[in-house]
Amino acid sequence: MTAQVGTKLRSDARDNRERILAVARLAFAADGIDVPIREIARRAGLGVATVYRHFQTKEELLADAFAEQLELCSSVVEQGLAADDPWDGFSLVIEKLMEMHALDRGFARAFTSHLPLVEDFALERNQSLRLIQELVRRTKDAGYLREDFVLEDLVLALMANEGIRAESPQLRVAASRRFAAFMLQSFQANPVATPLPPAVRLPLSR
């Protein structure tokens, strides 16, 4: 094999890998994490064997497809922890996570699932949850967050956020913003009714 052919092959392989990841991200976002590998291969216009050459398991593909978003989540949590006011930090985390999840159903589902096989993903996600736990403690200590709030309530809110359906990801984000405002209000130790983001037309009222 000449050097040139070798370079060409490596660059084709890289292109394929990127194409598979891009197609997988879109597929998981639109149709959830249950889209099978063979369907991703079909949408990428590649053979199933080619996909398996790059990602030995569906779990590996999932972890790589969501790596960037998971990193973004971690940085949102760090931003929340760095806020001067713990309630501001806590609200920021809830609002941003819900927004990211509303934009990508696949990521949302992966984030709130027990995925022991997607080790790297689960490790980083759990690290984010531990940091959120720390933020929860601080926000309670400052008297802003209700004492009976548990981390499970954040998971409950994120799962609930996944249930919201609208006609586009943008409308889903808008509906999700109003929902986040409701949830935040219900989490307060001394709740005050604050103005809400506007209501959004949902499928039922079409």
Residues in contact with a copy of itself by CB under 8 A are: 112-114, 146, 148, 150, 152-153, 155-157, 159-165, 175, 178-179, 182-183, 185-193, 195-196, 199-206
Q: Between residues 25 and 125, which has the closer beta carbon with respect to a copy of itself?
A: 125
Burial readout 30-63 (b: 16 or more C-beta within 10 A, e: otherwise): eeebebebeebbebbebeeebbbebbeebbbbbb
Q: Between residues 55 and 111, which has the closer beta carbon with respect to a copy of itself?
A: 111
Minimum distance from residue 175 beta carbon to a copy of itself (Å):
6
Minimum distance from residue 66 beta carbon to a copy of itself (Å):
15
For residues 172 and 103, the answer to whether their CB atoms sit within 8 Å is yes
Minimum distance from residue 67 beta carbon to a copy of itself (Å):
19
Q: Between residues 9 and 196, which has the closer beta carbon with respect to a copy of itself?
A: 196
Minimum distance from residue 199 beta carbon to a copy of itself (Å):
5
Q: Between residues 78 and 153, which has the closer beta carbon with respect to a copy of itself?
A: 153
Q: Between residues 134 and 167, which has the closer beta carbon with respect to a copy of itself?
A: 167
Minimum distance from residue 15 beta carbon to a copy of itself (Å):
35
Minimum distance from residue 149 beta carbon to a copy of itself (Å):
9
Give the 3-state DSSP-derived string for the chain, with helices as H, strands as E and coil as C. Answer: CCHHHHHHHHHHHHHHHHHHHHHHHHHHHHHCCCCCHHHHHHHHCCCHHHHHHHCCCHHHHHHHHCHHHHHHHHHHHHHHHHCCCHHHHHHHHHHHHHHHHHHCHHHHHHHCCCCCCCHHHHHHHHHHHHHHHHHHHHHHHCCCECCCCCHHHHHHHHHHHHHCCCCCHHHHHHHHHHHHHHHHHHHECCCCCCCCCCCCCCHHHC
Q: Between residues 4 and 116, which has the closer beta carbon with respect to a copy of itself?
A: 116
